[in-house]
Structure 1
Amino acid sequence: MSDEPQSPTSPASPIAPFPPLPPSGDHSRAPEFYGFVAWTSTSLLFVLFFLWALLPDSWIVEAGIEWYPSREWALLLPAYSVFLVLLTYFVYFALAIHATPSFSDLRAITDSYAHFPEPGVSQDNLYVSQASATGPPQLYDIPIGMVNRVVYSRRS
């Protein structure tokens, strides 16, 4: 092997090198700052929401705030948020059910990527004729009718 540095999981060396490679100096620290700002602002907004919901009106007015939303929104916002999340799950589930083909539809069994051998004499001999004694046979999808005949036929 060569002594030149390799990436930790290259095909030539699938195991991470020891000692670890030094970090490259060309990465940005912007995601760290964005994450800190998001965490700080979310925490601050939660504390303000909690104080607005729980403090008496006289304390809020003494703090110099003359107008603030009605307290019923302290219950409505979380309730609407939970409902919106549940509605989102329901809609995605309903769309997945809608996009699923029925059991009688041919799309439930095969698709446009199925790989069948070239048409031959008969469907049964077609798959046997593709087998080679010198190597592995080609990969093909087996028709569902043939699978059903093999699996569910009566054996004597």
Structure 2
Amino acid sequence: MTPRKKGMMTSTDGPTGLLSPLPDVNAAVKCKEIAAVATPSTSSQVSFREMQRLHAMRMELFGFGGWLTSALCYVLFLVWAYVPDTTLEAYGFTYFPSKHWAVAVPAMLVMTYLFSLVLYKAVNLLSTPSLGSYATILDTHTVPLPEGATCFEDDTEATPGIGDISIFEVNRHLFTATRQQEKRLKHE
């Protein structure tokens, strides 16, 4: 037989060293050696990568279990909502909520979702300073553009610098162009 590394099996392993249908006497020992090489011992610490893999596997199992549970609850809800009470009672289900809740609960959930959208917008509007507030012009988070940099008259193809545009520059750009257009219209 050819020399080989410990725990490695070749295709010619067998009682004769050739491909043989006869079982190898040492096959169980070789399998145990391979298993010992492939799995870490219980006395050693588990690596970070192995911990991540085990955590991900656990989360996958919990996710699949949650998916199965939610699908089962949905099917039970549909059965309860659409199957007549007499049929449910014939199968032994004698205590269940009124069918009124099959319509009321989804309607309440939809209205709660829509109300949460309105509430989210309202809270944002309440937390925003008024238009007359000085905080709408400058505050602690204002990042002025570098000196000499303009956002409006830059002819280069590069992306302009990141910064807050002064309200004075915005007004100059918006309203001087509008006044010039008004003057042209009056002269025509």
TM-score when scaled to structure 1? 0.60
Aligned runs of 1:19-38 on 2, under 5 Å? 24-27=49-52, 28=55, 29-38=57-66
Aligned runs of 1:71-90 on 2, under 5 Å? 71-90=99-118
> Pick from 54, 70, 91: which aligns with 1:42?
70
Distance 1:110 1:40, change over 3 A: same
Residue by residue over 1:31-87, the C-alpha shift from the partner in whole angstroms, topping out at 9 and shown as x without a partner, is 101101110000000000000001111111112111110001110011000000001
Structure 1, unpaired ranges of 5+: 1-23, 117-126, 129-138
**How many Å separate the matches in 2 of 1:46 and 1:68?**
15
% identical equivalent positions:
29
1:113 Cα deviation (Å)? 3.2
**How many Å separate the matches in 1 of 2:163 and 2:113?**
44
> Pick from 58, 67, 71: which aligns with 2:95?
67
> Pick from 85, 88, 91: which aligns with 1:57?
85
**How many Å separate the matches in 1 of 2:70 and 2:164?**
53
Aligned-residue CA RMSD (Å): 2.7
Relative to total residues, which structure has the larger helix share, 1 or 2? 2
1:98 Cα deviation (Å)? 1.1
Residue by residue over 1:126-154, the C-alpha shift from the partner in whole angstroms, topping out at 9 and shown as x without a partner, is x68xxxxxxxxxx9977644x36864669
Matched AA of 2:75: V
**How many Å separate the matches in 2 of 1:66 and 1:112?**
65
Distance 1:30 1:72, change over 3 A: same
1:92 paired residue number: 120
Higher-RCO chain (CA-CA 8 Å, sequence separation at least 6): 1
Distance 1:61 1:140, change over 3 A: closer
Partner SS state of residue 107, structure 1:
helix
Structure 2, unpaired ranges of 5+: 1-48, 149-161, 181-188
TM-score when scaled to structure 2? 0.51
**How many Å separate the matches in 1 of 2:142 and 2:109?**
44
The count of residues paired between Structure 1 and Structure 2 equals 111
1:104 aligns with 2:129: no
